[in-house]
Structure 1
Amino acid sequence: MAWVYLSRVVHGPCAALSALIESVGVLEAARAVRESALPESLREPTERRRGIDTAARDLELIERLGGRVVTPDDPEWPAWRLLGLTQLDAGRDRDGAIPLVLWVRGPRSLLESSERAVAVVGARCSTAYGNQVTGEIVSELAAQGWTIVSGAAFGIDGMAHRAALAVDGPTIAVLACGVDRPYPAQHERLIDEIADTGLVVSEYPPGAAARKHQFLARNRLIAALADGVLVVEAGLRSGARNTVKWSRRLGRPALAIPGSVNSAASVGCHRMIRDGEALLVTRAEEVIDEAGPLRLSLPDGARADNPADALSGDEALIFEALPVIGSRRPSELADQSGLPLSAVRAVLPALELAGLIGAGENGWHRTASPRSTTPR
């Protein structure tokens, strides 16, 4: 009840509230919000709706829809997937905070469905070429058991969901409004189909309308719930590029499909490829190669039983900056390694995937016995 109450009070990401919950617990945080016994940073975000407590009604409504609310206390919470959001700089990424709760419709486990997933996004006004490429790549990915994550929008998003459904593959639609308010309205049937066999997810409570800034915040969840982001067609100013930004901040690979040099629908993809923001891919195999499990390259003669010996570049610098005993926060690792904080945050998830480091309440630390990895 406390989680649900707070979800409606702030409507979306709120780093200050997340920090308060981490510090005092959700029950005490809810009491503080109700009584306005709060630090200055939380008074303005909570003042307008702190007197609205519809938690019981919201829970009843989501149950009538056949859905549920998933909180950080639940086994279904995708904690590892969302871990990267806790490492973002709240001052730089105002909408980058971890969601308070996730409202979910659908029969699948959110935790299990997001363990092997690719986000597929792109232009709302997609071309026949974009739709064809999306259908071919997504069908193959879904048939191989990859979950397709997207935003249920017109164009590439909708095509990605339909292609996954067509092969009975898993798909997750992340909405920027309540899960009881299909957006766009013309996709109500599609979203219902996704809820029947996949998952429809939102951090916004039932009844919440879609607002412009919520789409940008929603994009971080699309990126966070996947192993990588694939863009198929995008204009120069595109929401898909915003999703790529979140993917890069979280240390996940960003991929883009090239198009005709004469196509305005592919200008954004070409710019991202040229500027090094996204890697060019053309087939499902290439997507899997980049988004699949991390396989650190081993130089000739390196010992496979100690993956740390194979590290180089930024990975080696950051691993060496970690003490044998104890933990370090990203800012401390940046100071000690001499790398920018953004580079540190990008490398940490990769080292964790390799089993070399872990994260705790005091920061990042070396693991006791790193697992062996397969050479690429």
Structure 2
Amino acid sequence: MRRCVPGLAELGWVVVSGAAFGVDGAAHRGALSAGGATMAVLACGVDVAYPRGHAELIGRVAEQGLVIGELPPADHPTRSRFILRNRVIAALTRGTVVVEAEYRSGSLVTARSAQRLGRFTMGVPGPATSGLSAGVHELLRGEGVLVTDAAEVAELVGEIGDLAPARRGPVLPRDLLDAASARVLDALPCHGSVSGRDIARTAGTSADEALGRLYELHSLGFVERAGEGWQLTPRPTRMGGPRRGGP
């Protein structure tokens, strides 16, 4: 939520939520902090600040965005009106993102309304053992789409071509090796040493080529001599002990 909402606001999307405590409030604050627009849909009259603890937040939303409600001024919220409010949130948006939801959460009501309207439903997963994430995981087992940041949300609800960037982990030193050197390195076992001839056979190259690559890998710290053979250079573990394998 901390990354997703500000990112959507910076992309020009209006963040719509219900001004409630928890995720709703975090969504509005995230949009406001990024200088974006946000809309609060209330389960009461627009002149009634509910919950009262969010009176200041609702005021900021009114200044920087929009506060709306179906009910006449001075009407107060009831349990059934929150359910009705959620269907309005679903209708106003291109997609609904569920961040935290128990099995009987109002967020799931919003998601089901969005699905009936043919809108996108998305979920941000949480710990598998958390009851607060049980509803999100149930949504993802059905028609919901897993998202982790603003770019992935925009890819679904945006225009054609609004693609999220490709995801990949950090670049490791071995990722910078050329294909031939990488094959030779992969030919070494995780434990123990092996002869240059066996390495060449496993890597599918000549003995001379393999030997040249091994000396190159040695200079880079990936491998070391072990008698008549070669082995991977031990690396320290997090606890300080040796571990087999190149950088």
Counterpart AA for 2:17? S
- Give the structure 2 partner of residue 291 of structure 1: 157
Aligned mates of 2:84, 2:160 — CA distance in 1: 27
Identity value in percent: 48
- Displacement after TM superposition at 1:277 (Å): 3.2
1:171 aligns with 2:38: yes
Alignment partners' CA distance in 1, 2:160 and 2:128: 33
Residue pairs, 1:21-36, within 5 angstroms: none
- 1:226 corresponds in structure 2 to 93
Q: Distance in 2 between matches of 1:244 and 1:293?
A: 21
Question: What's 1:279 paired with?
Answer: 145
**Partner of residue 245 from structure 1, selected from 112, 126, 133:** 112
Q: Equivalent residue for 2:234?
A: none
Give the CA deviation at 1:175.
0.2
Gaps of 5+ in 1: 1-133, 296-376
The amino acid across from 2:24 in the alignment is: D
Rounded to whole Å, the distance in 1 between the matches of 2:86 and 2:143 is 16
- Bigger relative contact order, structure 1 or 2, given CA contacts below 8 A and separation 6+? 1
TM-score (norm 1): 0.42
1:269 aligns with 2:136: yes
1:217 maps to which residue?
84
The alpha-carbon deviation at position 283 of structure 1 amounts to: 1.7
**1:257 lines up with 2:124 in the alignment:** yes
Q: CA deviation at 1:284?
A: 1.2
> Secondary structure in 1 aligned to 2:40?
strand
- Matched residue SS, 2:83: helix
User: What is the SS of the residue equivalent to 2:36?
Assistant: coil
1:160 is matched with 27
Structure 1 residue 188 corresponds to structure 2 residue 69: no
CA distance in 2, matches of 1:230, 1:172: 15
Alpha-carbon displacement from aligned partner over 1:46-105 (angstroms, at most 9, x marks no partner): xxxxxxxxxxxxxxxxxxxxxxxxxxxxxxxxxxxxxxxxxxxxxxxxxxxxxxxxxxxx
d(CA) in 1 for partners of 2:84, 2:26: 22
What is the CA distance between 1:293 and its match in structure 2?
3.1
Are residue 204 (structure 1) and residue 71 (structure 2) matched? yes
Which residue among 140, 145, 158 is the counterpart of 2:7? 140
Q: Deviations for 1:85-136, whole angstroms, at most 9, x for unmatched residues?
A: xxxxxxxxxxxxxxxxxxxxxxxxxxxxxxxxxxxxxxxxxxxxxxxxx121
| Greater radius of gyration (CA) | 2
| Aligned-partner residue type, residue 171 of structure 1 | T
SS at match of 1:204: coil
TM-score by length of 2: 0.64
| Aligned-partner Cα distance in 2 for 1:214–1:281 | 29
Q: Structure 1 counterpart of 2:119, which letter?
A: R
Q: Structure 1 CA distance, aligned partners of 2:73 and 2:93?
A: 24
Q: Offset of 1:280 from its aligned partner? A: 1.0
SS in structure 2 of the partner of residue 200 of structure 1: strand
1:143 is aligned with what amino acid? E
Deviation at 1:294, TM superposition (A): 5.9
Count of matched residue pairs: 161
Where do 5+ consecutive residues of structure 2 fail to align? 162-247
1:163 aligned partner, one-letter code: G
